[in-house]
Structure 1
């Protein structure tokens, strides 16, 4: 299950607060449930006004250095709600990596990716193997996800994985012993 889709390419120093989402608009609701429709509608619209209307499920975001700095969990939710399958960047902070994976959005760090991908290229990116396959068939290697990270990603995030694991444990503990 390797994500494959259109690449949306963004540059260096893309801010989570005012590049990916418009945090000033949503901060009054901070700490409440997310309005995924509202987050999806504002995702990347300051940088690419066409993004909310044109992004398709399975597309891939490619970013430069220092991607999603000043981010909040809403940033990851907005990107995931837009249908983005995976984010592949030159670099980002560890907070973005954790927040994104916790909501089921895999982020891969792949040096050299920004120069290798053009906007609109169809690429594939597999977090489990760390392999990014470019439009011309060549590949780039990033660090593969650990087995636990793969489980979290494939489950759709930390909470869905934990819910499933607790349900499995409960079922096992309720099984009658012979």
Structure 2
């Protein structure tokens, strides 16, 4: 893996980090993220993708991530493991910044699988542990988006080594 600190990678990285911080704050505070906020973030992400050309230059990575995340979101939502906002934001992460932004992997398909796997494990395991230790409290519904942010950051840190 080679470190990639191009303008395109840095813009994509900071866009998704900014969005995840906003969404995490709302998820922790209110336990919900309004559709308007999610769609506004999606619009910002699309603009960044178009202006930087990130989607076209990493087309295989984006398509692989989307083809993996859509069925997983559907299954996890149907069985009640994630909520609607979690599903939409997981889709946005897969669309805007599906892999390792600060590094280059030669295998885009493996990169997408690895990134999605780490993000999902962090999100679901973090949510489970949160629920496990706080289940006796009044509102024990776990905010999953902060754990998605942690998973995303773990992937990016791994890329630096």
TM-score of the superposed pair, with normalisation by structure 2: 0.31
Relative contact order: is structure 1 or structure 2 higher (C-alpha 8 Å, sep ≥ 6)?
Answer: 2
Greater Rg by CA: 1
Larger strand share, 1 or 2? 1
Q: What TM-score results when the alignment is normalised by the length of structure 1?
A: 0.29
